[in-house]
Amino acid sequence: MAKATTTKRDLARFDANIARWQRAGRRRTDADIARLYEEDVRDLRAIRRAIAAGRFARAANMIWHLDTVVAERVPARLCNHVFDMAGW
């Protein structure tokens, strides 16, 4: 499979993971926990925008600083691609 097609598929998976994380946050009854989920969603969307703009070093840095449970929302193959493109 061509790398561009694979990356496109991984980005679609990432978009779906972000949407699922947002829905999970909306189901939380504790306002503080729901707020944390929204912050995570903002971070994930910023990473998504950085990848789309080709700013791989920025995206890699943002991924690196995420909590593990949130970083796991980034598909592994896409994460590896970002780190490779950033030269990490």
Where in the chain are the domains?
Answer: 3-86
* pLDDT digit string, tens, across residues 8-61: 999 999 999 999 999 999 999 999 999 999 999 999 999 999 999 999 999 999
Instruction: Provide mean pLDDT across the span 54-80.
Output: 95
* Region for 62 from its dihedrals, namely left if φ exceeds 0, alpha if ψ lies in -120 to 50, beta otherwise: alpha
For 27, list phi and psi in degrees, rounded to 5: -80, -10
Instruction: Provide mean pLDDT across the span 66-70.
Output: 93
pLDDT band at residue 83 using 50, 70 and 90 as cut-offs: very high
Q: What's the helix, strand, coil split of the chain in %, to 5?
A: 80, 0, 20
The answer, yes or no, to whether residue 5 has pLDDT greater than 90, is no
The helix/strand/coil state of 53 is coil
Cα-to-chain-centroid distance, residue 72 = 8
The answer, yes or no, to whether residue 1 has pLDDT greater than 70, is no
